[in-house]
Amino acid sequence: MPTPGAPDPDLVFLLQQASHALETEMAVKLAELGITPRWYCVLTKAMPGDRTQSQIAELSALDKTTMVVTVDELEKAGLAERKPSATDRRARIVAVTEKGARIVADAHRIVTGIYEDVLASAPGGTREPFVTALTGLVGDRLSTPPHTERPIRRHARRAT
């Protein structure tokens, strides 16, 4: 039931609720493989190879500290390793190990299945327009938050 005077629909609530439910389902399913959605995201972004920690952090929307901790965890689990960059001696490339590549393939099947199931539950004929509209919003109007003196902290990273 809408609150009098409040915007209807409450986009923040709707998007956060959908994001939370989806992230939770992914976390539960990926935990069966021994990984987190953040690990999956970082490994997926590292798969093409020759990407530095900084590049992967940017692609994954992770801050530098979180990225370092995540790669430390991935190395400890034997899923990735840091290698010196061939072009910048200060930079480190994140390389996915064979074990990491197998996990990514398994995780990709899980994530794809979740996405398919979620989108299949969209009311008849709304799947494609919904994905198109959401992609358009994230690629344009909602692509970058405005600058603030004290940035709003993001919730735990969404996988892909």
Answer yes or no: are the C-beta atoms of 66 and 56 closer than 8 Å.
Answer: no
- For residue range 24-71, list pLDDT tens digits in order: 999 999 999 999 999 999 999 999 988 999 999 999 999 999 999 999
The predicted-structure confidence for 122-132, as pLDDT tens digits, reads as follows 998 999 999 99
Options 1.10.287.1040, 1.10.10.10, 2.130.10.10, 2.40.50.140; CATH for 13-139 is 1.10.10.10
Does 157 have pLDDT greater than 60? no
Written as six digits, the tokens of 26 are: 């992914």
- Residue boundaries of the structural domains of the chain: 13-139
Instruction: Say whether pLDDT at 155 is over 60.
Output: no
Spell out the alpha helix ranges (H) of the chain: 11-31, 37-46, 53-60, 64-76, 98-120, 127-139
Q: Give tens-digit pLDDT for 68-88.
A: 999 999 999 999 999 998 888
Distance CA 118, CA 114 (A): 6
